[in-house]
Structure 1
Amino acid sequence: MEVKLSNGYGWKRCSLAQDRAQHRCHIKKGFILLLTLTFLSSAIIHFSDFSLKTIELPDNLYKNVVNQIHSYYMIIKLPSGRDNQTIFLAPAPNANQQVQQRATQISTQTTAISVHHHVAHPSNYHFILDEPDKCRQWDPFLVLMVPVAPNQVKARNAIRSTWGNESTVQGKAVITLFLVGLTGGSNSEKVQQQLEEESRQHRDLLQSNFVDSYFNLTIKTMVIMDWLATRCPQANFSMKVDSDMYINIENLMTLLLAPNTPRQNYITGVVMWNRSVVRNKHSKWYVSEELYPEPKYPTYLLGMGYVFSNDLPEKIVEASKAIKPFNIEDAYVGACLKHLDIAPLSPPDPSLFRVYMGHYKREDFLRVITTILGSPQQLIDIWKDVKRPT
């Protein structure tokens, strides 16, 4: 069997038997590319000591396959429980545009290439849903950025009816935006239509073309940083906050307006010091030595919610060019901060940022800035009680 490209737009499969008429069929290029790469990879793994870091090129066909894969997809290496590595394909920046010439060409003398991409860098992605004029219209002092799964409509609506509805606090403008990626599965088209309708209704939804998954949280965070740097540089502060969080905006604004709160190179929250990298392959937080060789992470802020001066997003995005991505997003931001020689700071009162509060007490929620909750309905119920007249 001979496999060859057809004008860069698809694949043709032709029989070599001379007594048969030529037969053509057009199959979606993504599936065939993936199938071909899987077949070739499996064959090499079976017969040699194979590493995903460096792939030997057995012939020109494999070069063509890899080049086409790179044209349409970002190839991502993630840890898995059995073999420590998983290939994951995400849409490349120009997947739906004419393929442009690669910046670095493979020499005809080359016998091996690396398929490792710096997948966390936001220039690899583009926005499908965007609100590029939001900050120009509102001129916010504070921007709350909420990474959330595409199907978590209840979480978004709960935030919209509680702390996300706070547009002016202590005389300062506040905006809340949600970031989602692409969804998969058989109902992906329906989910996408619902997201587009939700975007038209609320004008607070951002979507980028990475696949929304737990392992892609680092990508998600870096896309948030990129949006802040490119769409909202005029804001004074921003906060990355998870969708299951309670936020007391009044207390947060009091912290940010305090005269001793820095306006540059400032980031605070729940500070994590001297944390060991998890090497247990069965753990949710497993990171291989290949992805992060040091035994301990640099100091970082717990990802549930951290606030920072808005000069940092651009600096973090720039630093990420030098920091190899790994799948623990908050620790990865910490690695970028270390590269920038910027130290995360504890809040004046560490009890302002709480992980869990235990049994609900109204007076406790009146004092904190943030804590994790159990459900969207719990957020609604607590918010109503906290806001009731005394």
Structure 2
Amino acid sequence: MAINKIWHSLAKDRGPFIHQIKTAFFLLLTLTFLLFAVAYASDFTFDTIMFPQTWFTKIMNQTHYKVTDSIWANHNQKDTLAYLPNQKIQKRGSTIYYHIAHPSNYHYILDEPDICSQWDPFLVLMVPVAPHQVGARNAIRSTWGNESTVQGKAVMTLFLVGLTGGSDSEKAQQQLEEESRQHRDLLQSNFVDSYFNLTIKTMVIMDWLATRCPQANFSMKVDSDMYLNLENLMTLLLAPNTPRQNYITGMVMWNQDVIRDKNSKWYVSEELYPEPKYPTYLLGMGYVFSNDLPEKIVEASKEIKAFNIEDAYVGACVKHVGITPSSPPDPSQFRAYLGQYNREDFLRVITTILGSPQQLIDIWEDLKRPT
């Protein structure tokens, strides 16, 4: 009240001049408040951000996950990344990523724990795939994933997905559960399914093979956009000179530089991987290995700091175990791209990248037609 009386008295004596001072005074107070707010916000961390109490949080086992949004180089969409407390940190630009690869940090939401004891497979094909890519899974199910016996050996195909995230996550999860009931070939773990988390995804695959399917002779990690010629693969695996232990082969990558460009999709910081070059590794599109390796790779991941280039990380774990990746007898059978479709080329390779699920179906139908 006293302040208002003073302002009123001054206003009577000084008129518009005092009114301008009054206005300036309040503007100064407002500006000061805004400056303090900005300073406070600059020190704000994501520690206080958490998901609302939805299905997504319940599925995370009541763990408070920290969340950030990132825009990948060469992409316009946002990837939601979730991470556990105490995970390793990688910075790119102004964004902080956290990453832990050891699979003991995660659990299975959808699982087929007894399927290997029922099938007793010689070869297990493990396909990492995004939850929404139903078309890719169905294309594989109707082509190479439908082959259960090759050259007299049992073959089994399984798909691994992470959490869907997003506003429609509950509906998407219900669809995954229905798909699982229908096909019995779907595994799901509680990491957020994103490009950056491919290392986690691969290590969960290794964990599943080690704990659920140790009786298999060989396994293959093969991407969902791949053509796979199982006849040629089985011929390789059954060859008398193919080792049954400590064996991993595919498209061998030698002497590859670590990318330090922070604008690159494949950037890895020196804090995560200090060496200038990666150890010898197999390109992640598809590599096959003796099934004694998954347990050894999982054990090695306790010692090897995680980084986000999943195939190079597996290479680092393999090196830690003391194993050198093997070049296949015919390296041309593991091809990145074959270019324009030629039937004879596809009959010779083991695996190559395709452009779409429909292309896989079309090529498969042509290869299976009578000649």
TM range (shorter): 0.7 to 0.9
Q: Deviations for 1:181-239, whole angstroms, at most 9, x for unmatched residues?
A: 00111111111010000000000000000000000000000000000000000000000
Amino acid at match of 1:380: I
Question: Which of 95, 98, 104 is matched with 1:123 structurally?
Answer: 104
Q: 1:88 Cα shift?
A: 4.7
Does 2:310 align with 1:332?
no
**8 A contact 1:229–1:314 mirrored in 2:** yes
Match of 2:51 in 1: none
Match of 1:33 in 2: none
Compared CA separation, residues 88 and 168, structure 1 to 2 (3 A): closer
**8 A contact 1:210–1:219 mirrored in 2:** yes
Amino acid at match of 2:151: Q
Q: Deviations for 1:316-372, whole angstroms, at most 9, x for unmatched residues?
A: 000000011000000000010111111001000001100000110101100100000
**In structure 1, C-alpha distance between the alignment counterparts of 2:271 and 2:265, rounded to whole Å:** 17
Q: Deviations for 1:65-84, whole angstroms, at most 9, x for unmatched residues?
A: xxxx99824669999889xx
Compared CA separation, residues 145 and 87, structure 1 to 2 (3 A): closer
Compared CA separation, residues 77 and 184, structure 1 to 2 (3 A): closer
Q: 1:46 Cα shift?
A: 3.9
Amino acid at match of 2:204: V
Query: Map of 1:244-259 to 2, 5 A cutoff?
Result: 244-259=225-240
Q: 1:293 Cα shift?
A: 1.1
Q: 1:281 Cα shift?
A: 1.0
Structure 2 SS opposite 1:72 = coil
Structure richer in helix, relative to its length: 2
**In structure 2, C-alpha distance between the alignment counterparts of 1:362 and 1:388, rounded to whole Å:** 11
**In structure 1, C-alpha distance between the alignment counterparts of 2:320 and 2:263, rounded to whole Å:** 30
Amino acid at match of 1:166: E
Structure 2 SS opposite 1:178 = strand
Does 2:342 align with 1:342?
no
Match of 2:216 in 1: 235
**In structure 1, C-alpha distance between the alignment counterparts of 2:125 and 2:344, rounded to whole Å:** 24
Match of 1:366 in 2: 347
Match of 2:194 in 1: 213
Q: Give the number of aligned pairs.
A: 308
**8 A contact 2:259–2:266 mirrored in 1:** yes
Structure 1 SS opposite 2:296 = helix
Q: Deviations for 1:267-306, whole angstroms, at most 9, x for unmatched residues?
A: 0000000000111111111111111111110100000000
Match of 2:251 in 1: 270
Does 2:82 align with 1:89?
yes
Question: Which of 63, 66, 81 is matched with 1:72 structurally?
Answer: 63
Match of 1:167 in 2: 148
Query: Map of 1:18-29 to 2, 5 A cutoff?
Result: none
Structure 1 SS opposite 2:241 = coil
**In structure 2, C-alpha distance between the alignment counterparts of 1:297 and 1:71, rounded to whole Å:** 37
**In structure 1, C-alpha distance between the alignment counterparts of 2:72 and 2:61, rounded to whole Å:** 26
**8 A contact 2:83–2:98 mirrored in 1:** no
**Greater RCO, 1 or 2 (C-alpha within 8 Å, sep 6+):** 2
Match of 1:377 in 2: 358
Alpha-carbon RMSD: 2.9
Q: Deviations for 1:78-104, whole angstroms, at most 9, x for unmatched residues?
A: 99889xxx9953468xxxxxxxxx9xx
Match of 2:32 in 1: none
Structure 1: gaps of 5 or more residues: 1-41, 56-60, 62-68, 93-101, 103-114
Match of 2:268 in 1: 287
Match of 1:315 in 2: 296
**In structure 2, C-alpha distance between the alignment counterparts of 1:155 and 1:307, rounded to whole Å:** 21
Does 2:290 align with 1:297?
no
**8 A contact 1:91–1:209 mirrored in 2:** no
Q: Deviations for 1:242-268, whole angstroms, at most 9, x for unmatched residues?
A: 000000000000000000000000000
**8 A contact 1:79–1:286 mirrored in 2:** no
**Any runs of at least 4 consecutive aligned residues in structure 1 with deviations exceeding 3 A, and if so which?**
42-47, 73-82, 86-92, 115-118
**In structure 1, C-alpha distance between the alignment counterparts of 2:318 and 2:69, rounded to whole Å:** 23
Compared CA separation, residues 144 and 226, structure 1 to 2 (3 A): same
Question: Which of 178, 182, 188 is matched with 2:159 structurally?
Answer: 178
Amino acid at match of 1:242: D
Compared CA separation, residues 303 and 264, structure 1 to 2 (3 A): same
**In structure 1, C-alpha distance between the alignment counterparts of 2:80 and 2:174, rounded to whole Å:** 28
Match of 1:4 in 2: none
Structure 2 SS opposite 1:302 = strand
**8 A contact 1:118–1:325 mirrored in 2:** yes
> Which has more radius of gyration?
2
Structure 1 SS opposite 2:352 = strand
**8 A contact 2:99–2:307 mirrored in 1:** no
**8 A contact 1:78–1:215 mirrored in 2:** no
Q: 1:118 Cα shift?
A: 6.6
Match of 1:352 in 2: 333
Structure 2: gaps of 5 or more residues: 1-38, 49-59, 74-78, 87-95
